[in-house]
Chain A
Amino acid sequence: MASQDDEFTMLFQDFYPSLCRFLECLLGGRAPLAQDLAQESFLQLHRTAWGTLPPGEARFWLYRVARNLAINEFRKSHTRYRLFDRVVEAMRPAARNPEQEYETRERKELVLEMLQTLPEDQRTALLLREQEQLSYREIGQVLNISESKVKVDIFRARAALRERWSKKVKVASVGVS
C-alpha cells in the first residue's frame, strides 16, 4: 500500500535528473536555473496535479510545465542569470582529473552552443527525442502539436545541426593546418 508521497518520491528519484538535463540543454547551460525550474515543476505537480493525472501522464505533464517555465525565463533578461551562473561556475570545486574535466566541459559547451542555434520548438522536440526517447506521438502530446509537425521539426533540427557541425569541423581543420 504505497502512499502518494511514496509514489511521488519514486517518480522524483527516477525523473529529476532527466528533467534537469532537459532544462539545462533547453536553457543553454545555466545548471542552477535548470535545477530551480525542475524543482518548481515537481512542486507544481505535487501541489496541484498529483493524484489527478492518469497513470503515466505525470512525465508528460512535467515536460510541459518545465518547458513553459523555461520559455518564461527566455523572456526575462538573461544577464543576471549569466552573471550568477558564472559565479557558481567559478566557485565550483576543482576537478579530480582536470584534463578529463576540461574535455567533458568543452564537449558540453559545444553541444549547448549548437542547440542554442535552433528555434526553441525544434530544440525541445529534438531533446525529447534524443535524450528522453519519446516517440513522435508523445512529443506531440507534450508540445500540443501534430505528429507530422514533430517529424518535420526533428528533421529540420538535425539537418541544421549537421550543417553547422560540418562547418565547425572544417573551421577546426583549417585552424590546425
Chain B
Amino acid sequence: MNCGFTEKISSLIDGELSPAEAREVERHLLGCAQCKEARADFLNLRSQISGFEASLPGEVQNRELAKILNKPAASGARLRLSWNWGYGAVALASIAIVALIIGLSFYQRPPEEVASKSPVPVPSPTVAPSPEPDTPQQKPETPPSKESAPKPRRPAREPKPGEQFARIPENVQPVVPERTRSADAQTMTALHFERAETLLRAFRNVRLEDPDSASEVRYERTRAKQLIYQNMMLRREADTSGDVQIASLLDSLEPILLDIANLPDKPDDDTVRVIRERVERKNIVALLQVNSTALARALD
C-alpha cells in the first residue's frame, strides 16, 4: 500500500533530509498521490499532537518553583517557619544569631590579640586598611580617639549612594574584611549580597498592571522573609568585627527587606513605588553588586 518514499516523507517534514534528497522527494511528491496523502496525514497528526495543551493551572507553576527553590536550603520545619513567620521562627533565629555571634567572637579573638601586639598588623601593600590608611602604625600605641578609632560598633552615619564604590579602587584589594572577618563570614555576606541584589532587581521588574503580579510579589515577599534572618545575623557579625561598610550596607538593606516581606497579597501601586524609590535613592542594587564582587575578589 505504501510507496517506497513514505519513510522519506516523514524525514522531509522534519527537515532532516539533505538538500539534494529533499529536492528528489519534492519531485516525487508532484506525481505520487499516495505520498501526498501520507504527507497530509502526517502533518495532520503533527497538528493534533502539537496542539495538545497540558492541564496546568496557572498558579501551580509559581508554587512549584517556590517549593523547589526553598527545598535544598530548608527541610519541612524551616520551610513552614519561613512561611508562617511565627514566634517559633523568631526564637530559632535569635538562638542562631546568638550562637553565631558567640562562635565568631571566639573564632576572631586570637588574630586581634596578635595584631594588637604587633607593630604592623598586615604588611600587605595591596590591602587598604580603611578607614585611615596612612596611620596603621599608630594604632597599637595611641589610645583610641574619635578620629583614629578603627572599629566603631555602629556606623556614625549612613553612607551616601556610591560612597562605597568610590572607596574601592579597581586595582586595590577592597575593604578590611580579610583582617577582621572570617572567610566563612565573607563568603556568606557575598552570597547574601548577590541574593539580595537578585531579589531587588526582580522586585524592580514586577509589573503591577499584570494580572499575575500578585503571585510575583508573593514570591519576592517569601524571598525577602528568608533573607531577613541572614541579614540580621550578618549585620550583627559585621558590627562585632567592626566592618563599618558592610554593616552599613546591611543596615540599609534591612528595612527594605522588611518592607517587601510585609507587603500584602495585592499591594497597591503607591506602596510598591515607595519601596522602589527608596531602593533607587539609596542606590542599593549597585552597592550590593560592587560589594559582593569586592568580597568575592578578596576571597580569591
Q: Mark B44-84, 1 if CB is under 8 A from A, else 0.
A: 11101111111110001100110111011000000000000
Q: Which of A17, A39, A42, A158 contacts B10 (CB 8 A)?
A: A158
For chain A, what secondary structure do more than half of its interface residues adopt (helix, strand, loop), or is it mixed?
A: helix
Number of A positions contacting B (CB below 8 A): 48
A17 touches B52 (CB 8 A): no
A103 within 8 A of B: no
How many contacts between A and B, using CB within 8 angstroms? Answer: 115
A13 touches B61 (CB 8 A): yes
Give every chain A residue within 8 A of B48 (Cβ-Cβ).
107, 110-111
For chain B, what secondary structure do more than half of its interface residues adopt (helix, strand, loop), or is it mixed?
A: helix
The smallest beta-carbon distance between B165 and chain A, in angstroms, is 15
Known: A12-B65, A47-B72, A155-B7. A130 touches B49 (CB 8 A): yes
Q: Which of B11, B50, B64, B194 contacts A131 (CB 8 A)?
A: B50
16 contacting pairs across A/B (C-beta < 8 A)? A1-B293, A3-B194, A5-B195, A12-B61, A12-B64, A13-B65, A16-B64, A34-B54, A108-B52, A126-B49, A151-B11, A151-B16, A161-B45, A162-B38, A162-B42, A165-B44
A159 touches B52 (CB 8 A): no
A129 touches B14 (CB 8 A): yes
Q: Mark A22-61, 1 if CB is under 8 A from B, else 0.
A: 0011000001001100110011001100000000000000
Give every chain A residue within 8 A of B53 (Cβ-Cβ).
21, 104, 108
Contacts A25-B52, A108-B53, A111-B49 known; 16 new A-B pairs at CB < 8 A = A3-B194, A16-B61, A16-B64, A16-B65, A17-B56, A17-B61, A39-B67, A42-B65, A43-B68, A107-B51, A115-B49, A130-B45, A136-B14, A136-B16, A159-B2, A165-B41
A17 touches B65 (CB 8 A): no
Q: Which residues of B (257-300) have their CB < 8 Å from a CB of A? A: 289, 292-293
Bound complex: CA A110 to CA B56 (Å): 19
